[in-house]
Structure 1
C-alpha cells in the first residue's frame, strides 16, 4: 500500500471507500498472470475491467517496440481474464484510446484469436464516471492525468457453449 500511496494522492481514500462498500482490494497483481494468483485463480468474475492498459513509456509511443510491448500486455491480460471470467454472462471491458498508434494494438483481433466475442463498443466519456481520474501510472508523473481524446470501451464475452 505504501508504494501506491506514494504514487497516487487519493489512493488511501479510494481504497477505504471501496472496502467500506464491501470490495476486496488486492495489490500487486500482474494483469498478464492474474489467473495464477493464489486468490484470483479460485474466483470467477462477472466483470473484469481494464481502463487504458499501457506498459509505460519505454520508447516513443508510436515506435515498433512500444507497440509490441503494449500488444503483449493486452494479449496477456485477455488470456488471463478469460480464465477467471464467469462463463454465463461474464464480460471483459477494455477502455482504449483510438487513433494512431493505438489502433496498431489490434485489440479486437487479439480478443477474437483468444476466443472472445466482441459484444459492444461504447464511447468512453469520463463524465459518466463521477470521481474517476485517469492516471499515468508510471514514472515521476504517475499521479498526473493524461489527455484522453477519443476513447472506446470494448466489451467481450465467451462464446456460448
Structure 2
C-alpha cells in the first residue's frame, strides 16, 4: 500500500475538488506537496482563453497539473457545478473555494454587492453539499473583518444542511506557491490584501450529528492512544478512508479522527470497518 502524503488538512488519498481557481496556483501547491495530482479536479469559472489573458502563470500552472495527473475543467459555475457532465458522476472528500467573490462592482460594504456575494455562496453550498463523500469537508477561505463578516457564511451554509465544523486563521505562508488573485478587471493578476481571514470547514449535518453521537457512546474494541491512525477501507462502504495512512500531529486532530472512526462504525456497522 502506497503511503498517503499530507499537507495541512489535505491528503493524496482524498478526492479533492477545487472551485473558482484563478491562476491554479493552489491546485499546484497541492500537487507539489503530494508529488502527483491524480486525486485533484481543479476548475475555473473562466474559459481557458480568458484565463490566459488574465494570469501570467496560468498556462504553465495548468500544463504542470495536467502532466502530473490532474483533471482540469473550465467554465464551471460554482452555483451549478453538480450539473456538469463530469462532476455529476463524482463525490469528493474535500471541496475547496478560496475567497469567493462575484467581482468588483462597487464598495464592499454596498448591501447590493453583499447580496450578490451571498447568492454566489448559497448556490455553491447547495451544490457542494450534494457532492461530498461521507464525512467529507467543504473548505471556504474568507476574510473575517468588516464588511466581509456581514456575508454570514455560517447562516448561508445552514440553508443547505451544513454545519460549521471548525474554523482556523488562514496564513498564506502555510501554502507555499499559492498566490491569491483579484481575478477581475485590468488588475486581475494582482494579489488582493488578505488582512484577517480564516478557513471555514463545513460538513453535512448528518455527519456532524453522528460524530457528536460517537463522542459519547459506542466504545471501540480498543482505544486509540498513539500518533498513527490507519484505515484499511477495502470493505468500508462509501468510506473516504480507502488506502489511507496518516501521522496525526495534534491532540485535536487525533480526537477528530477518532470521532470519524466511531461514526463510521455507527453508520456502516462494526464488521464493515477493517482495522478497528
What is the TM-score when the length of structure 1 is the normalising length?
0.96
1:122 offset after TM fit, Å?
1.1
Partner residue, 1:5: 52
Partner residue, 1:122: 168
Aligned residues: CA RMSD: 1.0
Please give the alpha-carbon distance, in whole angstroms, between the structure 2 residues aligned to 1:158 and 1:105.
20
1:20 offset after TM fit, Å?
2.1
Which of 197, 220, 231 does residue 151 from structure 1 map onto? 197
Partner residue, 2:102: 55
Which of 101, 108, 123 does residue 147 from structure 2 map onto? 101
1:59 offset after TM fit, Å?
2.2
Matched, 1:32 2:79: yes
Which of 115, 124, 142 does residue 77 from structure 1 map onto? 124
- Superimposed CA distance per residue, residues 10-56 of structure 1 (whole angstroms, 9 cap, x where no aligned partner): 10111112112211010010001101111111111111100000000
1:66 offset after TM fit, Å?
0.5
What pairs up with 1:125-136 in 2 under 5 angstroms? 125-136=171-182
1:2 offset after TM fit, Å?
1.9
Structure with the higher strand share, 1 or 2: 2
Other structure's SS at 1:108 match:
helix
**Structure 2: gaps (5+ residues):** 1-47, 208-276
Which of 111, 120, 136 does residue 90 from structure 1 map onto? 136
Other structure's SS at 1:28 match:
coil
* Higher relative contact order structure (alpha carbons within 8 Å, sequence separation ≥ 6): 1
Partner residue, 1:141: 187
Please give the alpha-carbon distance, in whole angstroms, between the structure 2 residues aligned to 1:7 and 1:101.
27
Please give the alpha-carbon distance, in whole angstroms, between the structure 1 residues aligned to 2:57 and 2:175.
16
1:121 offset after TM fit, Å?
0.5
1:113 offset after TM fit, Å?
2.3
1:84 offset after TM fit, Å?
1.3
Structure exhibiting the larger radius of gyration computed from Cα positions: 2
What is the TM-score when the length of structure 2 is the normalising length?
0.57
- Superimposed CA distance per residue, residues 62-88 of structure 1 (whole angstroms, 9 cap, x where no aligned partner): 1011100001111111111111111x1
List structure 1 segments (4+ residues) > 6 angstroms apart after TM superposition: none
Other structure's SS at 1:2 match:
helix
Please give the alpha-carbon distance, in whole angstroms, between the structure 2 residues aligned to 1:160 and 1:70.
27
Which of 11, 16, 32 does residue 63 from structure 2 map onto? 16
Other structure's SS at 1:119 match:
strand
